[in-house]
Amino acid sequence: MTDLIVNAKCLAYHGPLLYEAKIVKVHEPGEDVVQTKDGEEPVKWDEIPEELKNDKTYYIHYKGWKSSWDEWVDISRLKELTLDNLQLQKSLKKAALTSTSSVSATNSKRTLNVSKSSTSTALVTRANRRRHDMDMETEEEYLRKPEINILIPDTLKSLLVDDWELVTKEHQLLSLPTKPNVDSLLRTFRQSLGRKSSVENEILDEFLSGMRIYFNRSLGNILLYRFERQQYLEITKDPKLKDQEPSQIYGAEHLLRLMVSLPALIAQTTMDQQSVGTLKDHIEQLLNYLDRNKKLFFLKRYENVTPAYEALSKNV
């Protein structure tokens, strides 16, 4: 590796993923000073981890992260900013997303609680019946049931990872209510498909109605990250928003989280293979629509939170 110097851009490991970073300071072993962009300054030994004090170390800032994440690392945590390493970064993100989705799917099988009172769509009705009959099966039999494989465009996978990082790592929140919201997004998707036969229209309208119901019923249970729960509680108490459905407040980012959870949700239904195939086709149509129009729907409207929110969120 080429020797990294102050102000050089690089990639740095933080956990299992690689992030773009910049070298802010460099400390050579045995020296009482560190190199900075303005020259030299005395080393602050209490800032350098004990295990790194005898090695060449680099003080880095992660691009787009708060300065509180700045840290001293050794060369084993760094990689040059090259095309090959950028490809490695993408591969690690994809692997992490796959792993996260797998864990989420397993957890979803144990936590989803769809209301039994809804009869708006066959999908929800069957999910209720499937939930009711679970006590007749063993855990092993239930978990062994196959899930459908949904093709998610790579660009949407990257958006999922970015969304996760912004909320869970940088402690930022999406500005709510958002425009376009889930309701309007589903309407424009329906309009984009044009006129169909009466049977196709009925199936499509049922699918979109089911998506809206699933979104509204599952948002508070499985779609929010812990850091977002305080925001959700505040919305339920807001006089202007408390009577609105989540699909009128949240947007594409949370809808996409639902889309990747659908295989686990569908596994809880007793749908026949033909119905599952039709549902899969519509889900992938919607995903491709989101992908084609990502610049309109994923606007990265994330905001920093107040210290008061930070404190409250830890107790939710």
Fold for 90-313, please state it: Enzyme I; Chain A, domain 2 (1.10.274)
Fold for 9-81, please state it: SH3 type barrels. (2.30.30)
pLDDT at 55 over 70: yes
Question: Between residues 138 and 186, which one has the greater pLDDT?
Answer: 186
Handedness of CA 189, 195, 196, 199 (dihedral sign): positive
Could you read off the pLDDT of 149-160 as tens digits, one per residue? 788 888 999 999
DSSP letter, residue 178: -
> Per the confidence metrics, is the pTM higher than 0.75?
no
pLDDT > 70 fraction of the chain, expressed in percent and rounded: 81
Report yes or no: 111 and 221 within 8 Å, Cβ to Cβ: yes
How do the residues of the chain divide into helix, strand and coil, expressed in percent and rounded to 5? 55, 15, 30
- Which residue, 110, 128, 111, is CA-closest to 119? 128
- Chain centroid to Cα 194, Å, comes to 31
**What average pLDDT is seen over the chain?**
81
Task: Name the residue type at position 111.
Answer: T
| Cα–Cα dist 83/90, whole Å | 11
Report yes or no: 136 and 130 within 8 Å, Cβ to Cβ: no
72-76, 95-99, 194-198, range with the lowest pLDDT: 95-99
Both tokens of 263, joined, read: 């295989």
Question: Between residues 230 and 134, which one has the greater pLDDT?
Answer: 230
Q: Annotate 12-60 with DSSP letters as a single string.
A: EEETTEEEEEEEEEEE-TT-SEEEETTEEEE--GGGS-GGGTTS-EEEE
DSSP letter, residue 77: G
Give residue limits of the domains in the chain. Answer: 9-81, 90-313
